[in-house]
Amino acid sequence: MSETTKILTIQDISCFGQCSITVALPIVSAFGIETAILPSAVLSTHTSGFTDFTVRDLTEDLPEIRKHWEKEEITFDAIYTGFIASIEQLDYIKDIIASRLKDDGLVFVDPAMADHGEFYNGFDQEFADAMGELCKLGDFILPNTTEACYILHKPWKEEFSREEMLEMANELAEYTKRYVILKGDTNEKGKLGMIVLDKLKSTCEIVYNDRIDYVSHGTGDVFASSFVGSTMIGKTPAQAAKIAGEFTKMAIEKTIGDESHTYGVKFEQVILQLSDILDSVD
Protein backbone atom coordinates (compact mmCIF):
# COMPACT_ATOMS: atom_id res chain seq x y z
CA MET A 1 0.00 0.00 0.00
CA SER A 2 1.14 3.58 -0.62
CA GLU A 3 2.38 5.96 2.07
CA THR A 4 -0.60 8.26 1.64
CA THR A 5 -1.84 9.61 4.96
CA LYS A 6 -5.02 7.77 5.89
CA ILE A 7 -7.63 8.80 8.45
CA LEU A 8 -10.58 6.79 9.66
CA THR A 9 -13.61 8.75 10.83
CA ILE A 10 -16.19 6.93 12.94
CA GLN A 11 -19.60 8.60 13.24
CA ASP A 12 -23.11 8.36 11.85
CA ILE A 13 -24.38 9.01 8.34
CA SER A 14 -27.33 11.38 8.22
CA CYS A 15 -28.57 10.94 4.67
CA PHE A 16 -29.93 14.51 4.68
CA GLY A 17 -28.56 17.30 6.84
CA GLN A 18 -25.00 18.58 6.92
CA CYS A 19 -23.37 16.83 9.84
CA SER A 20 -21.25 13.86 10.88
CA ILE A 21 -19.76 11.83 8.01
CA THR A 22 -21.31 13.95 5.25
CA VAL A 23 -19.32 16.85 6.73
CA ALA A 24 -16.19 14.99 7.85
CA LEU A 25 -15.53 13.13 4.59
CA PRO A 26 -15.44 16.13 2.22
CA ILE A 27 -13.69 18.50 4.63
CA VAL A 28 -10.89 16.17 5.72
CA SER A 29 -10.47 15.03 2.11
CA ALA A 30 -10.09 18.68 1.05
CA PHE A 31 -6.80 18.76 2.97
CA GLY A 32 -5.44 16.07 0.64
CA ILE A 33 -5.95 13.31 3.21
CA GLU A 34 -7.37 9.91 2.28
CA THR A 35 -10.45 9.51 4.47
CA ALA A 36 -12.07 6.17 5.27
CA ILE A 37 -15.41 5.95 7.03
CA LEU A 38 -17.00 3.66 9.58
CA PRO A 39 -20.69 4.52 10.06
CA SER A 40 -22.08 4.04 13.56
CA ALA A 41 -25.66 4.36 12.28
CA VAL A 42 -27.60 5.49 9.22
CA LEU A 43 -30.35 8.07 9.70
CA SER A 44 -32.76 9.44 7.12
CA THR A 45 -32.06 12.93 8.53
CA HIS A 46 -30.23 14.21 11.55
CA THR A 47 -32.22 14.55 14.77
CA SER A 48 -32.42 18.34 15.09
CA GLY A 49 -35.55 19.93 13.67
CA PHE A 50 -36.81 16.76 12.00
CA THR A 51 -39.46 14.32 13.22
CA ASP A 52 -40.16 10.67 12.39
CA PHE A 53 -36.62 10.14 11.10
CA THR A 54 -35.48 6.58 10.50
CA VAL A 55 -32.47 5.08 12.27
CA ARG A 56 -30.57 1.92 11.43
CA ASP A 57 -28.14 0.99 14.17
CA LEU A 58 -24.90 -0.55 12.85
CA THR A 59 -23.43 -1.74 16.15
CA GLU A 60 -23.22 -5.38 15.08
CA ASP A 61 -21.25 -4.42 11.97
CA LEU A 62 -18.40 -2.73 13.83
CA PRO A 63 -16.53 -5.82 15.10
CA GLU A 64 -16.97 -7.62 11.78
CA ILE A 65 -15.51 -4.67 9.88
CA ARG A 66 -12.57 -4.61 12.32
CA LYS A 67 -11.93 -8.31 11.73
CA HIS A 68 -11.92 -7.83 7.97
CA TRP A 69 -9.52 -4.89 8.24
CA GLU A 70 -7.23 -7.00 10.42
CA LYS A 71 -7.24 -9.71 7.77
CA GLU A 72 -6.39 -7.13 5.08
CA GLU A 73 -3.80 -5.47 7.36
CA ILE A 74 -5.48 -2.08 6.94
CA THR A 75 -4.22 0.52 9.40
CA PHE A 76 -4.67 4.26 9.85
CA ASP A 77 -2.48 7.25 10.67
CA ALA A 78 -5.31 8.80 12.68
CA ILE A 79 -8.78 7.93 13.95
CA TYR A 80 -11.36 10.67 14.38
CA THR A 81 -14.58 9.91 16.25
CA GLY A 82 -17.76 11.95 16.27
CA PHE A 83 -21.41 11.02 16.91
CA ILE A 84 -21.50 7.50 18.39
CA ALA A 85 -24.84 5.80 18.85
CA SER A 86 -24.39 3.79 22.07
CA ILE A 87 -22.13 2.77 24.95
CA GLU A 88 -21.69 -0.64 23.32
CA GLN A 89 -20.29 1.07 20.23
CA LEU A 90 -17.80 2.99 22.38
CA ASP A 91 -16.35 -0.35 23.54
CA TYR A 92 -16.03 -1.60 19.96
CA ILE A 93 -14.34 1.66 18.97
CA LYS A 94 -11.74 1.18 21.69
CA ASP A 95 -10.94 -2.19 20.10
CA ILE A 96 -10.64 -0.58 16.67
CA ILE A 97 -8.26 2.07 18.02
CA ALA A 98 -6.15 -0.61 19.73
CA SER A 99 -5.89 -2.80 16.65
CA ARG A 100 -6.10 -0.54 13.57
CA LEU A 101 -4.22 2.62 14.58
CA LYS A 102 -0.55 2.78 13.67
CA ASP A 103 1.90 2.86 16.56
CA ASP A 104 2.56 6.57 16.04
CA GLY A 105 -1.02 7.35 15.05
CA LEU A 106 -3.24 10.07 16.52
CA VAL A 107 -6.72 9.90 18.00
CA PHE A 108 -9.16 12.82 17.80
CA VAL A 109 -12.30 12.57 19.93
CA ASP A 110 -15.17 14.97 19.35
CA PRO A 111 -17.56 13.94 22.16
CA ALA A 112 -20.61 14.86 20.09
CA MET A 113 -23.47 14.28 22.50
CA ALA A 114 -24.81 17.62 23.77
CA ASP A 115 -25.08 21.37 23.24
CA HIS A 116 -26.78 24.43 24.74
CA GLY A 117 -27.11 22.73 28.11
CA GLU A 118 -28.91 19.60 26.91
CA PHE A 119 -28.08 16.11 25.73
CA TYR A 120 -28.88 15.20 22.15
CA ASN A 121 -31.81 12.85 21.72
CA GLY A 122 -31.08 9.45 23.30
CA PHE A 123 -28.05 10.37 25.41
CA ASP A 124 -27.73 10.61 29.20
CA GLN A 125 -25.18 10.93 31.99
CA GLU A 126 -24.25 7.25 31.77
CA PHE A 127 -23.29 7.77 28.14
CA ALA A 128 -21.32 10.91 29.06
CA ASP A 129 -19.33 8.94 31.61
CA ALA A 130 -18.56 6.28 29.01
CA MET A 131 -17.60 8.99 26.50
CA GLY A 132 -15.21 10.39 29.10
CA GLU A 133 -13.42 7.04 29.10
CA LEU A 134 -13.11 7.13 25.30
CA CYS A 135 -11.69 10.65 25.58
CA LYS A 136 -8.83 9.24 27.65
CA LEU A 137 -7.60 7.49 24.50
CA GLY A 138 -7.58 10.75 22.57
CA ASP A 139 -4.49 12.76 21.75
CA PHE A 140 -6.96 15.59 21.12
CA ILE A 141 -10.41 16.08 22.63
CA LEU A 142 -12.75 18.79 21.32
CA PRO A 143 -15.72 19.33 23.65
CA ASN A 144 -18.05 22.30 23.77
CA THR A 145 -18.94 23.65 27.22
CA THR A 146 -22.05 21.48 27.56
CA GLU A 147 -20.13 18.29 26.79
CA ALA A 148 -17.34 19.38 29.12
CA CYS A 149 -19.82 19.93 31.94
CA TYR A 150 -21.40 16.50 31.49
CA ILE A 151 -18.01 14.78 31.39
CA LEU A 152 -16.92 16.66 34.53
CA HIS A 153 -20.31 16.45 36.31
CA LYS A 154 -20.55 20.22 36.49
CA PRO A 155 -23.67 22.40 36.11
CA TRP A 156 -23.90 24.17 32.76
CA LYS A 157 -24.76 27.84 32.25
CA GLU A 158 -24.98 30.21 29.29
CA GLU A 159 -21.78 32.08 30.10
CA PHE A 160 -18.63 31.03 31.93
CA SER A 161 -15.98 33.41 33.22
CA ARG A 162 -12.44 33.18 31.89
CA GLU A 163 -11.35 31.61 35.16
CA GLU A 164 -14.12 29.01 34.95
CA MET A 165 -13.20 28.15 31.36
CA LEU A 166 -9.55 27.68 32.29
CA GLU A 167 -10.54 25.58 35.29
CA MET A 168 -12.65 23.31 33.07
CA ALA A 169 -9.82 22.96 30.57
CA ASN A 170 -7.42 21.97 33.33
CA GLU A 171 -9.88 19.42 34.72
CA LEU A 172 -10.41 18.01 31.21
CA ALA A 173 -6.66 17.36 31.03
CA GLU A 174 -7.43 14.20 33.01
CA TYR A 175 -9.49 13.02 30.04
CA THR A 176 -6.91 13.31 27.28
CA LYS A 177 -3.48 11.96 26.49
CA ARG A 178 -2.30 15.44 25.56
CA TYR A 179 -4.48 18.24 24.12
CA VAL A 180 -7.77 19.80 25.20
CA ILE A 181 -9.54 22.05 22.70
CA LEU A 182 -12.39 23.57 24.70
CA LYS A 183 -14.83 25.56 22.57
CA GLY A 184 -17.06 28.38 23.74
CA ASP A 185 -15.10 31.12 25.53
CA THR A 186 -17.24 34.28 25.20
CA ASN A 187 -15.29 36.59 27.48
CA GLU A 188 -13.81 38.74 24.70
CA LYS A 189 -16.39 41.13 23.27
CA GLY A 190 -17.40 40.19 19.72
CA LYS A 191 -15.14 37.13 19.76
CA LEU A 192 -15.50 33.41 20.27
CA GLY A 193 -12.55 31.71 21.90
CA MET A 194 -11.16 28.18 21.94
CA ILE A 195 -8.91 27.21 24.82
CA VAL A 196 -5.96 25.11 23.65
CA LEU A 197 -4.28 23.24 26.50
CA ASP A 198 -1.19 21.06 26.19
CA LYS A 199 -0.96 18.95 29.34
CA LEU A 200 2.53 17.63 28.55
CA LYS A 201 4.06 21.10 28.19
CA SER A 202 1.76 22.67 30.79
CA THR A 203 0.80 25.44 28.36
CA CYS A 204 -2.56 27.02 27.66
CA GLU A 205 -3.61 29.69 25.17
CA ILE A 206 -6.87 31.10 23.85
CA VAL A 207 -7.48 31.43 20.13
CA TYR A 208 -10.16 33.86 18.92
CA ASN A 209 -12.38 34.25 15.89
CA ASP A 210 -15.11 36.79 15.26
CA ARG A 211 -18.32 35.72 16.98
CA ILE A 212 -21.52 35.32 14.98
CA ASP A 213 -24.76 34.97 16.92
CA TYR A 214 -26.23 32.21 14.78
CA VAL A 215 -27.14 28.71 15.94
CA SER A 216 -27.12 25.81 13.49
CA HIS A 217 -26.80 22.06 13.62
CA GLY A 218 -23.48 20.68 12.37
CA THR A 219 -21.13 23.57 13.15
CA GLY A 220 -19.27 21.42 15.68
CA ASP A 221 -18.65 18.82 12.98
CA VAL A 222 -17.38 21.48 10.57
CA PHE A 223 -15.02 22.78 13.26
CA ALA A 224 -13.76 19.35 14.30
CA SER A 225 -13.21 18.15 10.73
CA SER A 226 -11.25 21.23 9.69
CA PHE A 227 -9.26 21.02 12.94
CA VAL A 228 -8.36 17.40 12.21
CA GLY A 229 -7.36 18.19 8.62
CA SER A 230 -5.25 21.19 9.66
CA THR A 231 -3.45 19.19 12.35
CA MET A 232 -2.71 16.30 10.03
CA ILE A 233 -0.97 18.57 7.50
CA GLY A 234 1.33 19.95 10.18
CA LYS A 235 -0.40 22.93 11.77
CA THR A 236 0.01 23.39 15.52
CA PRO A 237 -3.09 22.86 17.67
CA ALA A 238 -3.48 26.62 18.15
CA GLN A 239 -3.13 27.23 14.41
CA ALA A 240 -5.57 24.40 13.67
CA ALA A 241 -8.12 25.85 16.11
CA LYS A 242 -7.80 29.26 14.44
CA ILE A 243 -8.21 27.75 10.97
CA ALA A 244 -11.19 25.63 12.05
CA GLY A 245 -12.86 28.59 13.72
CA GLU A 246 -12.40 30.80 10.68
CA PHE A 247 -13.66 28.14 8.27
CA THR A 248 -16.73 27.51 10.44
CA LYS A 249 -17.42 31.24 10.68
CA MET A 250 -17.24 31.63 6.91
CA ALA A 251 -19.63 28.71 6.44
CA ILE A 252 -22.09 30.32 8.84
CA GLU A 253 -21.83 33.64 6.99
CA LYS A 254 -22.76 31.88 3.74
CA THR A 255 -25.84 30.42 5.43
CA ILE A 256 -27.25 33.45 7.23
CA GLY A 257 -30.29 34.88 5.46
CA ASP A 258 -31.42 31.65 3.81
CA GLU A 259 -34.49 30.78 5.85
CA SER A 260 -34.98 27.52 3.97
CA HIS A 261 -31.54 26.28 5.03
CA THR A 262 -32.08 25.47 8.69
CA TYR A 263 -30.46 22.03 8.83
CA GLY A 264 -26.74 22.89 8.63
CA VAL A 265 -24.24 25.41 7.29
CA LYS A 266 -23.10 25.84 3.69
CA PHE A 267 -19.52 24.70 4.17
CA GLU A 268 -19.37 23.51 0.56
CA GLN A 269 -19.49 27.11 -0.64
CA VAL A 270 -16.29 28.03 1.22
CA ILE A 271 -14.34 24.80 0.95
CA LEU A 272 -12.30 26.18 -1.97
CA GLN A 273 -11.15 28.99 0.32
CA LEU A 274 -9.45 26.60 2.74
CA SER A 275 -6.07 27.17 1.10
CA ASP A 276 -6.42 30.91 1.63
CA ILE A 277 -7.28 30.36 5.29
CA LEU A 278 -4.30 28.04 5.71
CA ASP A 279 -1.97 30.61 4.18
CA SER A 280 -3.29 33.36 6.45
CA VAL A 281 -2.56 31.51 9.71
CA ASP A 282 1.08 31.32 10.77
Pick the closest to residue 81 from 73, 91, 71, 72 (CA basis): 91
Q: pLDDT tens across 243-258, in order?
A: 999 999 999 999 999 8
- Sequence-distant (6+) residues with CB within 8 A of 277 are 243, 246, 247, 250
| Strand ranges in 58-202 using DSSP code E only, listed in sequence order | 76-81, 101-109, 114-115, 118-119, 140-141, 179-185, 191-198
pLDDT tens digits for range 122-135: 899 999 999 999 99
**Residue of higher predicted confidence among 2 and 108:** 108
155: left (phi over 0), alpha (psi -120 to 50) or beta: beta
Q: In sequence order, what are the beta bridge partners of 182? A: 195
Is the pLDDT reported for residue 108 higher than 60?
A: yes
Q: In terms of Cα–Cα distance, which of 148, 112, 89 is closest to 225?
A: 112
Quickly state the pLDDT bin for 1 (edges 50, 70, 90): very low
In the predicted structure, residue 3 carries a pLDDT above the cut 80: no
163-175 pLDDT, tens per residue? Answer: 999 999 999 999 9
For 221-239, the pLDDT digits (tens) are: 999 999 999 999 999 999 9
Which structural domains are found in the chain, ordered by start? 6-280 (3.40.1190.20)
Query: Distance between CA atoms of 193 and 216, rounded to whole angstroms?
Result: 18
Tell me the pLDDT band of 216, cut-offs 50, 70 and 90.
Answer: confident
Q: Could you tell me the pTM of the whole model?
A: 0.96
Amino acid found at 262: T
Distance CA 45, CA 164 (A): 36
**Beta carbons of 221 and 13 less than 8 angstroms apart:** no
pLDDT surpassing 70 at residue 2: no
Query: Does the pLDDT at position 215 exceed 90?
Result: no
